[in-house]
Amino acid sequence: MLENKQNRLSEAQVEAFFNTEFEQDQISDFESLFEDKKFDSNDVIVDVGGGVGRFAKLLTERRENSVRVLDIDENSISSLKNVGAHNIEALVADALNPPMFGDEKVVTINLILHHLVGQSEEVTRELQKSALKVWRGKTDFIFINEYIYESFIGNLSGRLIYYITSSAALSLVGSFVSKFVPSLRANTFGVGVRFRSHSEWLELFEQCGFRVTDCRYGESEFISLPRRILFISGIKRNSYLLRAFDD
Ligand SMILES: C[S@@+](CC[C@H](N)C(=O)[O-])C[C@H]1O[C@@H](n2cnc3c(N)ncnc32)[C@H](O)[C@@H]1O
């Protein structure tokens, strides 16, 4: 029987993520989706997979609420603790079994779901669902910022990328090819990454008992010719606002 265990990234692979400015898009989507929502001063925002706290910092600059950053990567959490940022609490924690204190108003899950990958497509799906289901009845809102990969052929591209990046042999070929074709570079070779299309994510959210009440569509990213070999027709980062069906 396959174990529901996540394939984990190395420290160097995690560090490579913090070279972007994606938190700027995340905060503007967050502010626009929460524009009409009321917060009490003691409501906590939990940022799951919040890394070194860049999104959390932008949140605390705009709101009085404190932000609890959870991440499985000890280096990221200790560097965040060392900064001693105002109103930010940092805890080493697994998104699949997060600590809960009863004060969680909003849970944000930014660019982490696609990293919850396991030994098979089924295990991967269960891991991604677990990270959402664990919050049922525990928070008012879930904000998700996630990569969207659309394909010329059904939902094939996300599947192909998972297949290549999670297979040891194919990853070796992929890493070699990416030396000459930098646009194929993926720092997840050997571990795996599972992107999905917009409709696939919506279906997964629904299966976890959440409905999307609002959404912000990101800008389309450039798709190089070699990437088109993977039948990718579109790449963007979207943000979703989720509520439980019975709320
Ligand atoms: C691509 S980075 C995203 C960081 C940040 N949220 C952002 O949007 O820029 C993925 C983050 O998820 C964290 N992560 C991966 N698996 C995790 C898990 N099971 N529990 C908690 N954090 C996890 C990684 O350590 C990393 O910080």
High-pLDDT (> 70) share of the chain, %? 91
DSSP class of 196: B
pLDDT in tens, 74-88: 999 999 999 888 899
As a whole number of angstroms, the distance between CA 173 and CA 177 comes to 6
**CA of residue 48 to ligand 1 center, whole Å:** 7
Does residue 224 surpass a pLDDT of 60?
yes
Q: Look at residue 94 and tell me if it is in a domain.
A: yes
- HSE-up of residue 130 (Cα within 13 Å, Cβ side): 18
| Structural domain for 159, as ranges | 11-33+43-244
Classify residue 95: in a domain, yes or no.
Answer: yes
Residue 8 CA, closest ligand 1 atom number: 16
With 0-12 CB in 10 A as exposed, 13-18 as middle and 19+ as buried, what is 64? exposed
**Closest ligand 1 atom, residue 52 Cα:** 27
**Domain-located, residue 215:** yes
Residue 111 alpha carbon to ligand 1 centre in Å: 7
Residue 109: what pLDDT?
98
Distances in Å between the alpha carbon of 182 and those of 71, 91, 167, 224, 227? 29, 35, 20, 10, 11
Mean per-residue pLDDT, 108-127: 96
The answer as to whether 3 is a domain residue is no
pLDDT of res. 202: 98
Given pLDDT bands bounded at 50, 70 and 90, which one contains residue 191?
Answer: confident
Mean pLDDT of the residues in the chain: 91
**70, 88, 115, best to mutate for ligand 1 pocket (most atoms within 8 Å of CB):** 115
The mean pLDDT of 218-241, rounded to a whole number, is: 91
Q: For residue 239, what is the domain's CATH number?
A: 3.40.50.150
> Does residue 38 sit within a domain?
no
User: pLDDT tens digits, residue range 36-65?
Assistant: 999 999 999 999 999 999 999 999 999 999
- Ligand 1 lining (C-beta closer than 6 Å): 6, 14, 17, 22-23, 49-51, 70-73, 76, 94-96, 110-112, 115
Ligand 1 centre to CA of 91 (Å) is 13
Hey, which of 6, 15, 17, 79 would you mutate to test ligand 1's pocket, going by the most ligand atoms within 8 Å of its Cβ?
17
Per-residue confidence at 229, pLDDT binned at 50, 70, 90? confident
Q: Answer whether residue 101 is part of any domain.
A: yes
The ligand 1 atom nearest the CA atom of 109 = 6
6 domain-assigned:
no
* 2 in any annotated domain: no
Confidence of residue 180 (pLDDT cuts 50, 70, 90): low
* pTM, full prediction: 0.92
- pLDDT tens sequence across 147-163: 999 999 999 999 999 98
14: pLDDT strictly greater than 90:
no
How much is the average pLDDT of 126-153?
Answer: 97
Q: Domain tally for the chain? A: 1
